[in-house]
Amino acid sequence: MEGLLAEINNKKKDLSSGDKYLRRGEAQRAKEEEEARRREEARKRRAEEADAGSSERASKLRKEADAARNASLARLRESRKPTPTSTAGSPAPEEEKERYNLSPDECIRRLRLYGQPIRLFGETDRDRRVRLRAIELEEDRGDKKKSRQDDFKRAVAEREREEAERRARGEVVKTEDKNVEKMKKYTEGGPIDLDLIKTDFKALHPLIYWYFKALLKEWEEYLEARDDEVKRTAQGKLAVANHAQSAQNLKPLFRGLKNRDLAEDVVRHLAEVVHFCQRRLYSKAQDAYLRLSIGNAAWPIGVVSVGIHERSNQGKISDNVAHVLNDEVSRKYIQAVKRLMTFAQTVRPPDSIAQMMG
């Protein structure tokens, strides 16, 4: 009886403590809260792992940067040390750089020749030699615009120096030349016969040589005959400098004509230029000059190396070469020839305006 009463009391306690069943909403809410708790725990765990990984990467990057800096400092210290020559006798790279070793006076002289300052602020002798070498290499690589400016400046300076010395000595420019007789012999016989190109090609060299020599001498006398006021103007100094520069640039041409080692097509075009200038047909002389300087060859686009067969026009492309583009020496003396043609037209104008150069 007592056991039955105890069981009844327990059931009453359970019924009085709360509801026996859960609603569906409450169960769903409890499930969602559990999932949110799990997601939050997973997020925190991933954030902790990411922080640990980033700190590891940062420490790794710091170690790599320190190693690179130490290596660069070591290379810098090694480069400052003198490198001995190898056992085979070949010079080391640093010694190869030191081969370009000039005395300070020679270095100063060359820098002044290029119109450069002889010493920059904080510059050592070795830095100055390196700068001079860079300037000379820039000249050798063919910086054409700067090279032309330097040539012109040197021609102007040389001409002004000669004029100052001549005025200081009180000398008069001598127009006599020991080769006047040869000039008259080769220039007073009338225009060059173009048939000599086929009959006697070697006879063209002295004719062209002495014509340009006589024209250059006449140009010099023409400039000296001007008034002193005209000579002192900027235009007058420019004309004198052009003459001096042309005389300097024509030396390779005169040497080639004298030794008869110029290319045949160059001599042929020069003979045509001289022939038409002597006849005062400057328009035709300009056409011959254009054939000499830039040629009349077609651009080899779509003609060569198109297929496996050789094209018939390939031989035509290599004939008429633009000689002005061959090298700097050819460009300079061909340009000087054009100045002589302009002067010839000035002192001996054509009979018709149609025969003038453009």
**128 in Cβ contact with 119 (< 8 Å):** yes
Q: What is the pLDDT of residue 245?
A: 87
Q: What is the pLDDT of residues 178-209, one digit of tens each?
A: 566 666 666 666 788 888 888 888 888 888 98
Q: What is the pLDDT of residue 91?
A: 45
Percent of the chain at pLDDT > 90 equals 7
10 Å CB burial of residue 243 (0-12, 13-18, 19+) is: buried
Q: What is the pLDDT of residue 87?
A: 41
3-state percent breakdown (helix, strand, coil) of the chain, nearest 5: 70, 0, 30
Tell me the two tokens of residue 249: 């640039």
Q: What is the pLDDT of residues 65-82, one digit of tens each?
A: 778 777 777 776 776 555
Report the alpha-carbon distance of residue 148 to residue 158 in Å, rounded: 15
Q: What is the pLDDT of residue 170?
A: 65
CA dihedral angle for residue 306, residue 308, residue 311, residue 317, rounded to 10 degrees: 60
The full DSSP string for 250-310 is THHHHHHHHHT-S-HHHHHHHHHHHHHHHTT-HHHHHHHHHHHHT--PPP-SSSSSSSSSP
Report the alpha-carbon distance of residue 301 to residue 12 in Å, rounded: 110
Question: What b-and-e string marks burial along 215-232, b requiring 16 or more CB atoms within 10 Å of the CB?
Answer: bbbbbbeebeeeeeeeee
**343 in Cβ contact with 212 (< 8 Å):** no
What domains are there in the chain, each with its CATH number? 98-140 (no CATH), 174-303+311-355 (1.20.940.10)
Q: What is the pLDDT of residue 323?
A: 61
CA dihedral angle for residue 331, residue 333, residue 334, residue 338, rounded to 10 degrees: 130
Q: With 0.85 as the threshold, say if the pTM is over it.
A: no
Q: What is the pLDDT of residue 115?
A: 83
Tell me the two tokens of residue 119: 């010493």
Query: Which residues of the chain register pLDDT less than 50?
Result: 83-98, 173, 175-176, 303-304, 306, 317-319
Task: Determine which helix (DSSP H) or strand (DSSP E) holds 332, and give its type and residue range.
Answer: helix 328-347
